[in-house]
Amino acid sequence: MKTPFNWHRTLLGLAAAGVIGQCSAFSFGGAEEAVIIPAPTLDETTQAHSETAVFAGGCFWGVQGVFQHVKGVKNAVSGYAGGAADTAQYERVSAGNTGHAEVVEVTFDPAQVSYGTLLQIYFSVAHNPTELNRQGPDTGTQYRSALFPKNAEQQRVAQAYISQLNAAHSFNKPIVTKLESYNGFYPAEEEHQDFLTEHPTYPYIVINDLPKVRQLKQLYPDRYQEKPVLVKAGM
* Enzyme catalytic residues: 59
Which residue, 76, 106, 71, 114, is CA-closest to 221? 71
Q: Tell me the backbone φ, ψ of residue 91, rounded to 5 degrees.
A: -65, -40
Tell me the DSSP string of 148-194.
--SSHHHHHHHHHHHHHHHHTT-SSS----EE------EEPPGGGTT
Q: State how far the Cα of 181 lies from the Cα of 42, in Å rounded to an integer.
A: 21
Q: Are 43 and 164 in contact (CB under 8 A)?
A: no
Question: In the 8-state DSSP scheme, what is residue 40?
Answer: P
